[in-house]
Structure formats: C-alpha cells, structure tokens
Amino acid sequence: MCADVIVAEDDEKQAELLRRYLEREGHSVTLVGDGLAALDAVRHREPDLLVLDVMMPRADGLDVVRVLRAECRELPVLMLTARSTEDDLLLGLDLGADDYVTKPYSPRELMARVRTLLRRNRRASGTDLATAGLLVVGALTVDPHRHVVSVDGAPVECTPGEFRILAALAAEPERVFSRQQLLAELHGFDRYISDRTVDVHIMNLRKKIEPAPRRPARLLTVFGVGYKLTDPAKAATRAS
C-alpha cells in the first residue's frame, strides 16, 4: 500500500527519522519545513497523507489544517504535537485533523496510525460511500457521492471525519452505534485511537445540524451504549 506522503516538520532530525520509517514501508516522502511550504506542497502534489507538526514557522499546523479544510481538501491529516493538553488536541480535531500523535512518540505507534489513515482514505475513495444514494433523515440530507450535507435545504460544512460519522448514522436511522463502531468508520479498528475522538465529532456535528445543540433532537445519545440519528418529526408523532 504505497502512498505519496508529505511530512511538514521543522526539526530536521525528526523529519529525517519520519522519512526513514515511511520509506521503509514503501511510501514516497516529501519533506517541508514550514506551514506555507506544506500548503504549497499539498496544492501541487495532491498527496495521500499529510503528516503535520503543530509548531512550525511561517504558519503553524493548526492554520494549515484550517486553510486546507476551507479549500475543501479532504486528504487525511495526522498532526504531531508537543502540546498534551486536551484543549489543544481537541482544537486540532475540531479544525479538521483526522488524528494526532503527541511527542515524544513511538515510531511503531506513529506508523500504525499512518496505516490506519491510509486504509480509511482508500475505503472513502472506493465504492462504500461514493456509490450510495442520497441519505435522508427528516430535514437532514447526506449526499455520499458529492460529500454534501444539508438541513432544510441549507448547506452544512463538515470535516471529513464528521462527514463519515454522519453518513454512517444516516445510512441506518434509529440504529444505535457504539463509539467503537463509529471509530471503525473513521479509522478502521485500531487500538491506538481514543473514544474521545468520536465525542468531539458528535459535539461539533450537533453545533451544525441541531437548532439547539445543548438539547439535541436529531443526533441523540443513548446512555451507556452510543449514538443514533433520528427524525425529530417522526419521534414527536410516536410520542403523541
């Protein structure tokens, strides 16, 4: 499973270490040393994966992710960060990063995450979502072919991770998905990924598709089990 990978890391020793590990697994690697160079490389190469350090000159990793997602580029982004506080990590996911590794990291863990993101990206570009029809749950519509979401006809901007979770839920309304099942939609089965990732995506989706995110009517928590997507109008009819 050879891939074209861009590594954006201003620490030359770390960058060369990453190159060696990635090339050992057969990947083609391009190294850049700052955020603006990372943006230019992505725009010119259209890589399969971006490994992105948070703390970089000219533009930091968070700004790079923000720009890439604003340009609707859906390539997987694996962030490298020395910041270990939850707020910093969740901000990266909120902006559209697919996963993160905190420094110092184990090379084996890093490569496991790389393999997981590449597998997920190949599934996403294959036939699982791309050939599906429109998914409609009440006023919510998910178009897997065009990667478009709307509520009452108004477009909703979703990160790639948010879209995959929402598409899985919309494909089977009323089904309760566990966090592990939703993680499988994001990354495949990988013991390195935290359940907290799903919670962040759910929280952000509620801000985008719910009239009152603190009192969700569409994207519901089933306590002790997981999450489900429902049509509020049908739920109200059943209740009456």
The stretch 210-221 carries a mean pLDDT of 94
| pTM of the predicted structure, to 2 decimals | 0.59
Q: Who's near 103: CB < 8 A, 6+ residues apart?
A: 80, 81, 82
pLDDT surpasses 60 at 89: yes
Cα separation, 238 vs 233, in Å, equals 9
Cα separation, 144 vs 221, in Å, equals 24
Q: Which residue has the higher pLDDT, 164 or 120?
A: 164
Residue 236: its pLDDT value, please? Answer: 60
Residue 224: its pLDDT value, please? Answer: 87
State the pLDDT confidence band at 209, using cuts at 50, 70 and 90: very high
Fold match, 4-124 / 135-239? no
pLDDT surpasses 50 at 212: yes
User: 186 and 193 in contact (C-beta within 8 Å)?
Assistant: yes
pLDDT surpasses 90 at 219: yes
Quickly name the fold that domain 135-239 has: Arc Repressor Mutant, subunit A (1.10.10)
Quickly name the fold that domain 4-124 has: Rossmann fold (3.40.50)
Cα separation, 151 vs 221, in Å, equals 20
The stretch 36-47 carries a mean pLDDT of 93
Say how many C-beta atoms besides its own lie within 10 A of residue 213's C-beta: 14
Which sequence spans correspond to the domains of the chain? 4-124, 135-239
State the pLDDT confidence band at 83, using cuts at 50, 70 and 90: low
- Give residue-wise pLDDT tens across range 105-143: 888 888 888 887 887 666 555 544 444 578 899 999 998
